[in-house]
Structure 1
């Protein structure tokens, strides 16, 4: 009996923000996987170790959480004014499914460094020392991200003293600008507020009716009031993820929110769109102890936010959800803005399970409609492994 040898593909395993993923150059993928479709999905699933009924991804590079079951494909961009195209695939853990419906804000921080180190950026664009400004086309959502990557002696600087809650060790700071992060009234992605309201009543049969802010900024997100759900907003992962009934309730609410936002045309379709929309709940600032044991004072933050990703409470905060938080906080009347104390603001610092995070957004109202020119936040990134990934043929 003959056995096919393993396929060996150049790849880099990177941390970006509070996530990890396997990065590929498009040109290094097998020819059949350079195009969207079943072959590409099958390759990425096998690389990560999915689907795994044990939920551990032992036979792949995945880490058995939504934050570590991720893949990225980067290529030189032919789009004017951009250096690279970046495509993100969120790999399901226990099902044969890759979700291409949204971006990963955390791994966005690693795209610039990966592109520079992989020879995808014109060397003339990289200073000997200083900061390289890399313009990234986020292909999933059709938006521009500008990454400011520190450079030392002509190479990406990865070490530094920037601390990011949710990441154990300090590293070099990378500032990200998410340009025009919200869909506009005439854009293909629909309005920033799909219902036309900064706050809605979301009716969920069998569960209840909830005040909700449904926003499309960074990533489509459903914001709810923590108290209405019976929470304080200071919960850590075990309080939610160990409660099967709570997770099922969140998923039902998420499905109805997705339908209300026009992201799906029937409730059942939410199961095939796990990555988007996100669902989160907010509360006014209060003291709590983070998952690392760090005490967060109420005066250190503007509000509390907890968000779910791929059906589980996130250990920190998704980068794209942070963009949604910053955008919603800047717009009076949203649940996020109200939890932060109301009124106009250009930045917000929120508490999440691992600590705190600051995000800024520039919001303007024109002819009754809100627009956001950009959202800004800092992350860090680091290469964990560089070489070749082996995938059974």
Structure 2
């Protein structure tokens, strides 16, 4: 028998996700050793799909790792690497960022003193985050109280109970996070398996298809997506073809599980159930997302930002179903499986270049201490 291993760590909720946070200085310099630490801490692979022997929650939004350390760029305060962990398999995926967990990076940087704030300091701070997965900068603005990231506040997000302090995330020049182009295929419409799709790379590569083209309601629930006889398989086929066309992999089999993400979009006007349940705050567009092969309970933030970018391109699948009469200058309201989300994309002064994309979230430190994992080498 062998003793367990342990390292300093923290656990944060960011938006509608949770992740284990590591300070990069506490991890081995040899990154080849990281995967075993991350898998053991999260509790993967787990053939039962519950991750009971670790801190994962059995679904993709709860099977995540964030590594934060000193910045390697002069225009950023910290470096941040996101890692998606498989639930039933041993996949360790560094290929994309997570927008929800990005909202917890600034608070972690403050709480861990990677971004020093005086213990007498209370007010608003902005942490410039360099996401190493995409090479992009994210400005995270949030309140601090007595030198710590504030947890209490009046801002609510759908999918999370209660209210908390607002975290504003501004993704700077998000286009081409992996491919170098907002529309990596060179088109706003591609055809995969006879279905029109829009491939966008803003914050993360994403693919958007209309729900009506696949014969399902736009307000379909995550459980209904899972129970559908072939919807997930059809979406994954489209996603893999899009990944190849976008230049993310040379073959369908080599396309990463986390990107491109794929979403169903539809008009809220054509979905009576959505109008009845969200009558007080009708969205501009409905979206149902699939992430790492699972229907998302809400919507990945990076997918929401990509959607907002596509919505402002008239010939895209997203723009074709958006309720343009209702959309306001404040942004675009997305109706997802757990409620609504306000996002916006700024194309600047008419030069056609995406300057930034903004979203508002909340985050909270849940615990900090040491995380333990077994020696999986034996």
Interval containing the TM-score (normalised by the shorter chain): over 0.9
Secondary structure of 1:228's aligned partner:
helix
The aligned residue for residue 285 of structure 1 is 268
Residues 1:131 and 2:111 aligned together: no
Q: Does 1:220 align with 2:205?
A: yes
Q: State the partner residue of 2:321.
A: 339
The partner residue of 1:348 within 332, 353, 361 is 332
Deviation at 1:331, TM superposition (A): 2.1
TM-score calculated relative to the size of structure 2:
0.93
Does the residue aligned with 2:125 lie in a helix, a strand or coil?
Answer: strand
Shift of 1:241: 1.2
* Selected match of 1:116 from 89, 107, 110: 110
- 2:11 alignment counterpart: 13
Q: Is the 8 A contact 2:284 2:324 kept in 1?
A: no
The question of 1:245 aligning with 2:230 is answered: yes
Quick check: 296-305 or 81-90, which moved more?
296-305
Q: Distance in 2 between matches of 1:335 and 1:40?
A: 39
2:285 and 2:321 in contact (8 A); partners too:
yes
Q: Mean Cα displacement is larger for which, 17-26 or 280-289?
A: 280-289
Structure 2: which 5+ runs fail to align?
Answer: none
Question: Partner of 1:182 in structure 2?
Answer: 175
Q: Counterpart of 2:345?
A: 361
State the shift of 1:145 in Å: 0.3
Q: Is the 8 A contact 1:109 1:176 kept in 2?
A: yes
Q: Give the corresponding residue for 2:97.
A: 103
Of the three residues 145, 153, 156, the one matched with 2:138 is 145
Cα separation, partners in 2 of 1:189 and 1:366, compared to 1, 3 Å: farther
Could you tell me whether the CA contact under 8 Å between 2:46 and 2:87 is conserved in 1?
yes
Per-residue deviation, 1:392: 1.4
State the secondary structure of the residue aligned to 1:149. Answer: strand
Q: CA-to-partner distance for each residue in 1:241-282, whole Å, 9 max, x for gaps?
A: 123522122111111111111111111112xx1010000111
The whole-number CA distance in structure 2 between the counterparts of 1:259 and 1:345 is 35
User: Do the aligned residues in 1 keep the contact of 2:284 with 2:333 (CA within 8 Å)?
Assistant: yes
In the aligned structure 2, how far is the partner of 1:264 from the partner of 1:222?
15
2:215 matched residue in structure 1: 230
Distance 1:299 1:24, change over 3 A: closer
Q: Structure 1 114/299 Cα, relative in aligned 2: closer, same or farther at 3 Å? A: closer
- Give secondary structure in 1 for the equivalent of 2:62: coil
Kept in 1: contact 2:151–2:363 (CA 8 A): yes
Residue 56, structure 1, aligned to residue 50, structure 2: yes
Q: How far off is 1:366 after superposition?
A: 6.6
The answer for the alignment partner of 1:162 in structure 2 is 155
Cα distance in 2 for partners of 1:6, 1:203 equals 48
Q: Which residue of 1 aligns with 2:301?
A: 319
1:169-197 CA-to-partner distances (Å, cap 9, x unmatched) read 211110000001111xxx87331101211
Separation of aligned partners in 1, 2:307 and 2:293: 19
Q: Which residue of 2 aligns with 1:384?
A: 366
Counting strand residues as a fraction of each chain, which structure ranks higher? 1
Return structure 1 stretches of 4+ with deviation > 4 angstroms.
Answer: 287-290, 342-346, 364-367
- How much does 1:231 deviate? 1.5
CA contact (8 A) 1:195 1:214 kept: yes
Q: What is the CA RMSD across the aligned residues, in angstroms?
A: 2.1
Asked if 1:267 corresponds to 2:249, the answer is: no
User: In 1, distance between residues paired with 2:72 and 2:206?
Assistant: 31
Aligned length: 371
Q: 1:380 to 1:179 in 2, by over 3 A?
A: same
